Structure 1
Amino acid sequence: MTLLLVVGRGLLRRAPPIKEMRARLAAVKWALQKCFSTALRQDVVITDRATAHRLLVRGGGGGAFCNRPPTSAASSVLSRQRHHNIGSAPYGPLWRAIRRNLVSEVFHPSRLRLYAPARRRALRGLLADLREQCTSSNVALAAESMHAALFGLSAAMCFGDGVDAGRVRAMADAMEDLIRSLVGLSVFAALPALTELVYRKKWNKLVALRRQQEELYLPLINARRGQHHRPSGEAPTYVDTLFDLLVVDDNCSASGGNSPKQRLTDGELVGLCSEFLGAGTEPAIAAMQSVMANLVKHPEVQEAVRREIDAVIGEDAEEVGEEDLGKLEYLNAVLMEALRLHPTVPSLSRQYDRVVINQAHGLNFLFTRKVIPEDHIVLDGRRASAGTTVQFPLERLARDKAAWADPDEFRPERFLAGGEGEGVSLVAAAGSAGEIKMMPFGAGRRMCPGMGVAMLHLRTSGTSWRTS
């Protein structure tokens, strides 16, 4: 009896408090409900270009296709989908405020011109690195050099000049570790509460990586906060534009509360800066790698790019000025063809939010899940439940034989005068004839806000191929 009492007291001492146990059970209950409701929904894949235009561009005007499925962004996962960045925020006041700030205060052409000196420094550093590698070993690791140059440029745009090179490398390494920890763990996005309980070690690693990011970013953020008022004519940093930004808490608004506007917290600032660095580097590097792979496969194309650059700036010129980038028509055609064949993301995802579309065509339904009886949208005579995830496979849409001759072939000439790609825009307008030939940056209200700066960086870095 004494032994049983001793063991019983030990078990009671080790047992978690009642409140903690109730919280864990509530988390498991919510996760299971979420899991079952998700399993009962269907996915839809859009493979018709006219339907994609109708749903994303014209249908998106009502807000039905302006939301994305739960994201695995670290800020969203760790806050259980309460704190968001531009890519993950639901369509609403918060998303509009932070996206408008980025587009008008950083990515506007008049602001981008102020970053020209930083771009020149990044390009010169990239060229010097490539030359040094070629001199020492006759082999240049172009992708790694471009990644370092672009990440450094993004860090300068985010935090200003003078960020220690060692800290920039540490931020890049932390970003890579964070991305690797999230890849393949989509359950983090859909079921964060269950993930925290079941995948405890992975969750703790994610928390540690996020803490490391905060330790790297917050000193830079606080340093900029201390010199918030910059001299006129100086390029604004991204974090500068966030200090005075007032946003509405979407969680409070959604629950019917009267939410006052408030400034962003330090955690939200870290999340937005992390998104800025990642989105400003990783997609561009993926696009560059696809371009370089095609240049290696087609040396005649690389030689044509070299001849065009020499003709525009002269064979003896060291670098291409940004004022000459618009004259490089063949280089632009190479970039467009690479983006058509190899979009930086394989698929675009949206969620239905409410009934605004009565009929559409060209749908492939994946009936691996049942439709549950709830608010629905009728598509091509078939029911699709509200909240259904809709996939737009970008590569498949851009390789439509009805739009392109030999769509699987790498032919930059198709984007020159007289080709079937002449005049093709990366932005699908609502008033257009319903034609989307390619959308590597998405379409509709949720298309990538950094498309302009991404193309500028691609053209600028593309001139380095003349040297490499």
Structure 2
Amino acid sequence: MQDALIFLLPLTLLLVHIVSRLRLRHAPTRKAAYARLTAARSALQRMLHTLGLGQPDVYVTDRFATHRLLVHGAAAGGAFSDRPPSIVPSAVLSRRRHYNINSAPYGPLWRAVRRNLTSEILHPSRLRRYGPARRRALGGLVADLDRQRASGGVVLAVESLREAKFGLLAAMCFGGGVDAGLVRAMADTQDDLVQFFLGLRVFATLPAVTGLIYRNRWRKLVELRRQQEQTYLPLIDARRDRASRHGEAPLYVDTLVDLRVSDEHAASAGTRRRRRRQQRRLTDGELVGLCSEFLGAGTEPAAAALQWIMANLVKRSDVQRALRKEIDAAVGADADEVREEVLGRLEYLNAVIMEGLRLHPTVPMVLRQVMAEDHVVLDGRRLPAGTAVHFPLARLARDKTAWADPREFRPERFLAGGEGEGEGVNLVAAAGSAGEIRMMPFGGGRRICPGMASPCSTSATSWPTW
């Protein structure tokens, strides 16, 4: 009886929603009605899956199996590069029409927007041109920390770090001339979305139905999105007709405005090859979603990673002293800053960062969903389409068979002669180039972090979620 109620509840809600919509519209054609019912059936199947009545979720904790699935998962067919239905606001509000890099299904749109970020913004030659903006952000951070210390109160270092990082990314996205109050408003809205994120899980499947059940959450989501559009769209519109100046650092929004992507929703007329050639600009919804992702994914993971690293440095005064000694030897004890060209030579600093990311990944899981075209085999059994595969990052990185005393904060393991030698320098090794994955703070496979190859000072704590 209980199983019957679980089955009938979502079906009843779905039928009520369909009937209520039909009362306000003309009767659809037979072809349109069939298409709607087919889509509703697929959505219902996804909901039943989330209720535990479909394929079970699979958790992979073996480092060799993780490497085989994520790095070589496409060898037997398919790509194994899709994720379960996303709960990012762009995808939820647009009924899966507006995506960002994190939520887009594997395909032409995902490849285009990811390639744009990698080549136009995160390439080392591009990142170097943001040096003045980084120095301004660092100067503001130091000044803010000094003000807090002088006041005699508690120094909220993480909040200062988050504000400095968000301001830097806002300058990289929209330019350095954005009003400080507007940047603060963007940061506040982004923070509200982060705090509200877990509440969006209910909209992962059948948002038309769950939006009726959780009306207050839906209204809050719509309001937060409206605030973002009111803030971002004027800045985006101001850049559409700009005259680019030679030598200026590229702005992320400029690259998005100029980008052309394949029109996957082209009319059915014409050959498939002709449809693939059709190009379109990104919609306003996609532009807002991508800018929001750029600001959020570059701020929150960095703040979380730095918070964990600082906490471990407070606990380990010996690590503090060793780090201070290395920095003093490289730039002098009286230096005001560590120049970017020096950062790559600070081996112990990079080891501290890598150990912090190993012990405290900034995201708990890497997720994949098996699609019909995938051929994913685990323990001799092919996983059926629709199965969600979870790769828990902390458990992988604390495997006792891969690391000695894996729960201990020990940066020395990433120095020469340590068990993690080379992984602190060659980040690809940490993603499994040696046939196993002992840690993957940057993900793995085709969806590995696009900024992983950038300098550790920029990407190691900034771009781990994509």
TMscore range, shorter length: 0.7 to 0.9
1:272 partnered with 2:290: yes
Give the counterpart of 2:369 among 351, 358, 364.
351
Give the counterpart of 1:249 among 226, 243, 263.
263
What's the CA shift for 1:137?
A: 1.3
AA aligned to 2:312 is N
What's the CA shift for 1:383?
A: 4.5
Whether the aligned pair in 2 keeps the contact of 1:416 and 1:422 (CA below 8 Å) is yes
- Provide, for residues 372-411 of structure 1, a one-character-per-residue CA deviation record: whole Å limited to 9, x for no partner: xxxxx54323342112110001111111112111111100
AA aligned to 1:316 is D
What's the CA shift for 1:184?
A: 3.5
Query: Against the structure 1 CA distance between its residues 124 and 429, is the aligned structure 2 distance closer, same or farther, given a 3 Å change threshold?
Result: closer
Whether the aligned pair in 2 keeps the contact of 1:60 and 1:444 (CA below 8 Å) is no
Structure 1 counterpart of 2:126: 111
What's the CA shift for 1:261?
A: 0.9
AA aligned to 1:434 is G
The equivalences for 1:37-436 within 5 A come to 37-38=49-50, 39-60=53-74, 62-137=77-152, 139-227=154-242, 229-252=243-266, 258=275, 260-354=278-372, 357=375, 377-424=376-423, 425-428=426-429, 432-436=433-437
AA aligned to 1:150 is K
Whether the aligned pair in 2 keeps the contact of 1:123 and 1:149 (CA below 8 Å) is yes
What's the CA shift for 1:194?
A: 1.4
Query: Against the structure 1 CA distance between its residues 339 and 429, is the aligned structure 2 distance closer, same or farther, given a 3 Å change threshold?
Result: closer
- Provide, for residues 428-458 of structure 1, a one-character-per-residue CA deviation record: whole Å limited to 9, x for no partner: 5999431222100101110111234583237
- Provide, for residues 398-425 of structure 1, a one-character-per-residue CA deviation record: whole Å limited to 9, x for no partner: 1111211111110011111111111024
AA aligned to 1:448 is C
CA distance in 1, matches of 2:189, 2:390: 30
| Greater length-normalized contact order (CA 8 Å, ≥ 6 residues apart) | 1
Query: Against the structure 1 CA distance between its residues 22 and 276, is the aligned structure 2 distance closer, same or farther, given a 3 Å change threshold?
Result: farther
Whether the aligned pair in 1 keeps the contact of 2:413 and 2:419 (CA below 8 Å) is yes
Using the size of structure 1 for normalisation, the TM-score is: 0.85
AA aligned to 2:213 is V
CA distance in 1, matches of 2:207, 2:303: 30
CA distance in 2, matches of 1:36, 1:443: 29
Query: Against the structure 1 CA distance between its residues 432 and 440, is the aligned structure 2 distance closer, same or farther, given a 3 Å change threshold?
Result: closer
Whether the aligned pair in 2 keeps the contact of 1:399 and 1:408 (CA below 8 Å) is yes
Other structure's SS at 2:58 match: strand
CA distance in 2, matches of 1:430, 1:34: 31
1:35 partnered with 2:47: yes
Other structure's SS at 2:71 match: helix
Query: Against the structure 1 CA distance between its residues 22 and 333, is the aligned structure 2 distance closer, same or farther, given a 3 Å change threshold?
Result: farther
Other structure's SS at 1:450 match: coil
AA aligned to 2:399 is D
Query: Against the structure 1 CA distance between its residues 451 and 429, is the aligned structure 2 distance closer, same or farther, given a 3 Å change threshold?
Result: closer
What's the CA shift for 1:200?
A: 1.5
CA distance in 2, matches of 1:408, 1:21: 63
Whether the aligned pair in 1 keeps the contact of 2:121 and 2:250 (CA below 8 Å) is yes
What's the CA shift for 1:252?
A: 5.0
1:19 partnered with 2:24: yes
Using the size of structure 2 for normalisation, the TM-score is: 0.85
Aligned length: 427
Q: What's the RMSD between the two structures over aligned residues?
A: 2.7
CA distance in 1, matches of 2:322, 2:153: 22
CA distance in 1, matches of 2:213, 2:299: 33
CA distance in 1, matches of 2:86, 2:56: 18
CA distance in 2, matches of 1:48, 1:29: 35
Whether the aligned pair in 2 keeps the contact of 1:340 and 1:398 (CA below 8 Å) is yes
CA distance in 1, matches of 2:429, 2:59: 19
- Provide, for residues 208-240 of structure 1, a one-character-per-residue CA deviation record: whole Å limited to 9, x for no partner: 11011000001111112231x311110010011
Whether the aligned pair in 2 keeps the contact of 1:105 and 1:241 (CA below 8 Å) is yes
> Structure 1: any 5+ residue segments left out of the alignment?
1-14, 358-376, 462-468
Stretch deviating more after TM superposition (293-302 or 406-415): 293-302
Other structure's SS at 2:447 match: coil
> Structure 2: any 5+ residue segments left out of the alignment?
1-19, 29-35
AA aligned to 2:228 is Q
Query: Against the structure 1 CA distance between its residues 428 and 96, is the aligned structure 2 distance closer, same or farther, given a 3 Å change threshold?
Result: farther
Query: Against the structure 1 CA distance between its residues 453 and 162, is the aligned structure 2 distance closer, same or farther, given a 3 Å change threshold?
Result: farther
CA distance in 1, matches of 2:197, 2:444: 26
What's the CA shift for 1:64?
A: 2.8
CA distance in 2, matches of 1:453, 1:169: 28
What's the CA shift for 1:29?
A: 6.7
Structure 2 counterpart of 1:366: none
